[in-house]
Homo-oligomer: A and B are copies of this chain.
Amino acid sequence: MTYKIAILGASGYTGAELVRLIASHPSIEIAALSGNSKAGQSMAQVFPHLRHLDLPVLTTIADVDFSGIDLAFCALPHKTSQEVISKLPKSLKIVDLSADFRLRDPAAYEKWYGNPHGAVEIQKEAVYGLTEFYRDDITAARLVAGTGCNAATGQFALRPLISAGVIDLDDIIMDLACAVSGAGRSLKENLLHAELSEGAHAYAVGGTHRHLGEFDQEFSLLAGRPVEVQFTPHLIPANRGILATNYVKGDAQAIHNVLEKAYEGEPFIEVLPFGEHPSIRHIRGSNFCHVGVVADRRAGRAIVIAALDNLTKGSSGQALQNANLMLGLPETEGLMMAPLFP
């Protein structure tokens, strides 16, 4: 059986990544593509790398015919997403890639995103989309909220450790190297090649990055008490990939054991042998996440490093993985392609 899906917001990078992935998916068909600012254009005009595909023309959201569509991916900016989703048919399954339904507490949403939540009722039914940890809920869900890409990376490294109680919850430092596609196709001076190339700088330093809302929510829930990590993302001159270097206090070998056990049988999470650690060049374009653990020279301290592709496992690949579950398809369908290297 083939399911029909729509992608709302197909003119951004995560939208294009969804098209790339679904184009090879045996059981899902793209029935509609929207992109308000580019309505009327073909995907080949907006994304020439997709020109070999026979795709619907981009329309406005208003012009999408949702009858016959099983599931919609919303790759829209936050705030726009909640407005759009409020008006979609209630029977439609939805995977939202924006930040709008990630935070369960509307007050937390307002704190991190600066505006009151406009679809509180819908938010109540949203399931947090970190597949490996919310698999059953996602399978049963109508609305799944895709995670932040940094938030996914950090959680793959730390969730099992917090659950298992093997690290000090008051001294977690998460230092990220983030490739530039995570910032989207936005026209900003610091995203220009001439500025970013040969550069490297931190951003949202000191605890102002919005993905902290997700860390606070999820880690506190796991720990049963408030957990506030330190989190500093850095922008580096690469297109895809997040490398999260986590400094934790705990026994490195015990930490490795916990991770190995937690991810045993997981198709997309690869725990490296103890002492090895990952590189973003080895997960590019794939849905895999590599996690490594190294003991520090100081006893009782460890470095846990996770790497994934922000556009794939960090957003659109995760979204498709969730959609597979929601549609009753095998979770890995269309997602097992190997990374592109070099």
User: How many angstroms between the C-alpha atoms of A195 and B197 in the bound complex?
Assistant: 12
Contact B240 A297 (CB under 8 A): no
Contact A198 B238 (CB under 8 A): yes
Contact A187 B181 (CB under 8 A): no
Picked from B183, B245, B284, B340, the residue with its CB within 8 Å of the CB of A202 is B245
Known contacts A181-B194, A282-B49; A247/B230 CB under 8 A: yes
In the complex, whether A281 has a CB less than 8 A from a CB of chain B is yes
In the complex, whether A339 has a CB less than 8 A from a CB of chain B is yes
Contact B192 A192 (CB under 8 A): yes
Residue of B nearest to A23 (CB): B338
User: How many angstroms between the C-alpha atoms of A342 and B247 in the bound complex?
Assistant: 31
Which of A113-121, A127-135, A298-306 interfaces with chain B? Answer: A298-306
In the complex, whether A35 has a CB less than 8 A from a CB of chain B is no
User: How many angstroms between the C-alpha atoms of A294 and B207 in the bound complex?
Assistant: 10
Known contacts A48-B282, A206-B303; A238/B239 CB under 8 A: no
Chain B residues lying within 8 Å of A230, measured Cβ to Cβ, are 247, 296, 298, 301, 303
Contact B294 A201 (CB under 8 A): no
Chain B residues lying within 8 Å of A179, measured Cβ to Cβ, are 198, 200
In the complex, whether A122 has a CB less than 8 A from a CB of chain B is no
Give chain A's interface residues, CB within 8 Å of chain B: 13, 16, 19-20, 23-24, 47-53, 171, 173, 175, 177, 179-181, 183, 185, 187-189, 191-202, 205-208, 212, 228, 230, 232, 234, 236-241, 243, 245, 247, 270, 272, 277-286, 288, 290, 294-298, 301, 303, 305, 307, 336-342
